[in-house]
Structure 1
């Protein structure tokens, strides 16, 4: 088992801290549900392994030579999950680390896939090498600064580094390990999501990090005992293994769906905003329930009022080349059987590479405005409006 695969076994894991810090009893509740994986997770594991090889070669070319690096990468390429785009995306991650290291006041120590222990903040268990610890993708330590850098290969949810509890726990563990050698006063955390073209950075003082550690101690004590109030919500429940059948979440969403009360003739903009936030999790909850119920039915268990059936199937060739040869042999013009289509702009950029694409054909690209979308106010994109400004209304026509 690789380091990347064993990250998920701790009860109070750093990766799950965003959940158990908010909803302390969820940690024990999850124990009764299997820790499943997915194709996307397996793909992410492979990308992390490639990123680790690149980073080790960058940090220690003497021991991890070009020859060793090439042999290890070639081995990864035999994995069924391998995609050529992984090379480009992980290179963007490595480029960020190179730049960050050069920007530090002195040459930093580069820690690659290092297990950091934060058990004194979560749960003291010296004999357990997994509990109370986590494996950080990259840690730069130099002078008065600890910089924790995390690669997120997924493209579903953009993750913010601001007060990110996973990376703050890694920073606490890194500080405990190096505080004797380095006069640390500043902590920086970064999340690199190359498939979303996102780099999120956040800094805090050592004092603020240690205050966070005290907060973790209080919450972790409750979580370890399975105590404290449940706190269901969109972000809290997203990756919880118990989310489909959690009673607290069920009651929470039922109250939101049916307990709003009689609608007045008109509602205010403030009420609209409040209700949009309140109802955000209901659609997700329904989908989680459906997936859980389908799994039960497929396993031969009964979910009253529901059953699993075969969905609409699709047809496919057993041998397309042979079929087309037969059709052409019967007199069908081969030109009728094929379509010639250009690649999309995004596909061309992937084939060529972002930098070369911009240099060679960037002048032929224009960005059309996207369809207006409603998002929460915390979204970083600037607000738009259809309202015409006075300047636009009275500007002189040329």
Structure 2
């Protein structure tokens, strides 16, 4: 898999720089903390590499079980998740006039149509695009599980959609009437399931370029920038050193507490309407605090001193260095027939994994009588803002009694 292309004003960072034009200046400072790839990002890269291999080679993901991609062994969960993306893309490929996998798309032609030169690199890598009928499809794989990514008004997808339109024009195609922007997030379904789509008229996407992309890019490069805090700050790599976010956080703290050194008030004594407002503000502060912690950790890790703080090793977790050697020692001590007592007991595959395994043998869950053995229960609830697209869970005393084991 070719390395993914990223620009300074990238598609993945568009939600930040389209809102806060000052963010690019902080990122360019010589002592700015570098963006570190987390283990989750590395796992996402592995899933993308697997997906690209499947699409290019015409193979299913389960053929790569236990093989290594970007340092990760392909698990059944990864294979099943990636296959959802692969199946969706293959369905679009059938009958398409054009399709492309892992394609670098650029926005530079937005300036060239007016005889100008694009003032900076503006490009990104679209996971999959397909031109079918009167619609251009842009599909993005998200392998993350913690946060549901929606397709509606997603600036990263719109950036890719614009680039894909310009790519089609360069290839000599007539522009489609519509652009369908799709998120495939197999491990975070949301209200719309793992595949979420947003279709918009092509003209609306081109107008967005005129009203948002072009003027914002030119403002940033001319130095006509300003800070703006909001939900996008959560993803900003330099939020920990942002003066505007720091000012907002201190102002919020002063608003809620007369004495910032005092013990915070008991939430049970605060009106519910106020609690909702406090929680919305706390989301902003918690993201900032996380970035401050990251900035301090980076400073200490690079040899600097921060008064009152230090880095210490995380708690070590014991594990076997040689599983087979352990089994042999147990067998010598207790006999081979007793080794099972010290091992994890085998258990059936999950329903999704079982369905896949049975399919390879020409059977379904129903045919072997397993469909009735499946239950689907939520492990609990999670608190989210009202704009989240998932339906609210039933709550209150009546719900509690309905589910009580009396």
User: Shorter-chain TM-score: which interval?
Assistant: 0.7 to 0.9
**Equivalent residue for 1:62?**
none
User: Would the alpha carbon gap of residues 92 and 271 (structure 1) be closer, same or farther in structure 2, given more than 3 Å must change?
Assistant: same
Shift of 1:118: 0.7
User: Would the alpha carbon gap of residues 365 and 30 (structure 1) be closer, same or farther in structure 2, given more than 3 Å must change?
Assistant: same
Shift of 1:300: 2.1
**Equivalent residue for 1:81?**
72
Q: Distance in 2 between matches of 1:314 and 1:183?
A: 56
2:246 matches 1:250: yes
Shift of 1:327: 6.8
2:3 matches 1:13: no
Q: Any stretches of 5+ residues in structure 1 without a counterpart?
A: 59-65, 393-398
1:67-146 equivalent positions in 2, closer than 5 A: 77=68, 80-85=71-76, 86-101=78-93, 107-121=96-110, 131-146=121-136
Across the aligned residues of Structure 1 and Structure 2, the Cα RMSD in angstroms comes to 3.7
- The C-alpha deviation readout for 1:96-155, integer Å capped at 9, x for no partner, is 1233455xxx63311222222212558975697xx2122211111134221111111222
Shift of 1:212: 0.8
Shift of 1:17: 0.6
For residue 396 of structure 2, the aligned residue among 372, 378, 386 is: 386
Q: How many residues align?
A: 370
- The C-alpha deviation readout for 1:141-179, integer Å capped at 9, x for no partner, is 134221111111222322111011111122212222334
Which secondary structure does the structure 2 equivalent of 1:166 belong to?
A: helix
Q: Distance in 1 between matches of 2:107 and 2:398?
A: 55
**Equivalent residue for 2:139?**
149
Say whether the 8 Å CA contact 1:125–1:132 is kept in structure 2: no
TM-score (norm 2): 0.77
TM-score (norm 1): 0.79
Say whether the 8 Å CA contact 2:108–2:122 is kept in structure 1: yes
2:303 matches 1:307: no
- The C-alpha deviation readout for 1:39-87, integer Å capped at 9, x for no partner, is 33233223222222322345xxxxxxx8xx99x9799747532314333
Q: Any stretches of 5+ residues in structure 2 without a counterpart?
A: 259-264
Which secondary structure does the structure 2 equivalent of 1:196 belong to?
A: coil
2:66 matches 1:56: no
Q: Distance in 1 between matches of 2:321 and 2:55?
A: 44
1:1-398 equivalent positions in 2, closer than 5 A: 3=2, 5-8=3-6, 10-32=7-29, 33=32, 34-58=34-58, 77=68, 80-85=71-76, 86-101=78-93, 107-121=96-110, 131-179=121-169, 181-197=173-189, 198-214=194-210, 215-233=212-230, 235-261=231-257, 267-318=270-321, 334=338, 338-343=342-347, 346=350, 349-350=352-353, 353=356, 356=359, 358-359=365-366, 360=368, 361-383=370-392, 384-386=394-396, 388=398
Q: Distance in 1 between matches of 2:154 and 2:277?
A: 25
Say whether the 8 Å CA contact 2:46–2:71 is kept in structure 1: no
